[in-house]
Amino acid sequence: MMISIASGKGGTGKTTVAVNLALSIPERGVQFLDCDVEEPNASIFLKPRIEETVSVSIPVPRIDQEKCDFCGECAKICAYHALAVLPKKVLVFPHLCHGCGGCSLLCPQGAITEQDREIGRVEIGHSNGIEFIQGKLNVGEAMPTPLIRVIKEKARRRGRWTNPASVTVIDAPPGTSCSVIEAIKGSDFCILVTEPTPFGLNDLILAVEVLKKLQVSFGVVINRSSMGDYRVDSYCQENHIPILLRIPFDREIATLYSQGIPIVQEKKEYIEDFRQMMDYIQELLPT
């Protein structure tokens, strides 16, 4: 089964929940995907041994100036303004290109071929029996989604994805836009992590809208639950959203986090909490 961990707001504890859940259910054969490719942090806690690195590229146009007659068709059809045609020259802006292939397909002169441009890397490895895959977007690159697609593709090709007994844990990026959708898509269940503040509530409501649109079942984890107000609780109650787990604010947990140490490694009592959360999720899923 696939469980994604998301939140509208950043810094609520997505990675904390994902990592500690993964470490608490070793018998399930866990696959861990860090899909927050702009700022991947799970490896700080899981310290995986990376065994394979894959470069991820998107195909961008290359113009054969011999064949090109400067008709301007490519620039006209490009939806991303990645091409500009001057009287005697074609300019390509590779950073704007989404790699759709339209220009090379439609160039009347057949003057456009494609060349790969790296936008990031996907790393595959293991950590304590967990199969680990993460993506890292190169700095200066704008598009995280192709990288997320490759992470999931690599995961799909490996055995654990298809084994119904095993669990694929996905650490998603913050927000509500395309990269979040790409990360969550196909999940059996999504854990929304929030905090009991007006920011947490505002962004939780946005994240709930995303999941309704994607038709993925979900529940809420309230992090730093002892610090804040009751509005997140009331919202969940009114909207019949299950609260899966509460993690109280604890300076010790904050310190462990700052050092890159998973909670369950030092505070074993939390293993049972995360295992119970997993059981609760199983109960919530349609059989």
Partner 1 sequence: MKQILIISGKGGTGKTVLTSSLAALAKAAVLADCDVDAADLHLLLHPVVKGTQEFWSGQKAVIDDGQCINCGRCLSLCRFEAIKALKNQDGSLKKIEIDPIACEECRVCYYTCPVGAIQMEDRLSGLLFISETKYGPMVHAKLGIAEENSGKLVALVKQKAQEIAQAEGKRWLIIDGPPGIGCPVIASLSGVDLVLVVTEPTLSGIYDMERVIDLAAHFGVLTKVFINKCDINWDNTRTIEEICQKRGIEVIGYLPFSEEVVQSLILGMPVVEYSKGMIAEEIITLWKKIEAIFQKEGKS
Q: What is the contact surface with partner 1 in residues (CB under 8 A)?
A: 8-12, 15, 38-39, 41, 44, 77, 79-80, 98-102, 105-106, 137, 139-144, 149, 173-181, 197-199, 202-203, 206, 209-210, 213-214, 227-229, 254-255, 257-260
Q: Which is nearer to partner 1, 67 or 213 (CB)?
A: 213
- Provide, rounded to whole angstroms, the least separation between the CB of residue 177 and partner 1: 5
* Shortest CB 83 distance to partner 1, Å: 13
Please report how close the Cβ of residue 173 comes to partner 1 at its closest, in angstroms: 7
One-letter amino acid at 19 equals: V
Q: Which residues of 217-252 are buried (b: 16+ CB within 10 A; e: fewer)?
A: ebbbbbbbbeebeeebbebbeeeebebbbebeeeee
The residue among 130 and 193 lying less far from partner 1, judged by its C-beta, is 193
Q: Would you say 255 or 282 has its CB closer to partner 1? A: 255
- Compute φ and ψ for 285, nearest 5 degrees: -80, 145
Nearer to partner 1, 169 or 281 (CB): 169
Q: Least separation, in Å, of the C-beta of 249 and partner 1? A: 9
Report the alpha-carbon distance of residue 107 to residue 110 in Å, rounded: 5
Closest approach, Cβ 250 to partner 1, in A, equals 12
Nearest-approach distance from CB 209 to partner 1, in angstroms: 5
**What are the structure tokens assigned to 59, written together?**
């195909």
13/193 Cα distance (integer angstroms): 6
Return d(Cα 122, Cα 253) in angstroms, integer. 30
Instruction: Give the integer Cα–Cα distance in Å for 186 and 227.
Output: 33
| Cβ-based nearer residue to partner 1, 91 or 206 | 206
The span from the CA of 284 to the CA of 287, in Å, is: 9
Residue type, 146: P
Give 196 or 219: the residue with its C-beta nearer to partner 1.
196
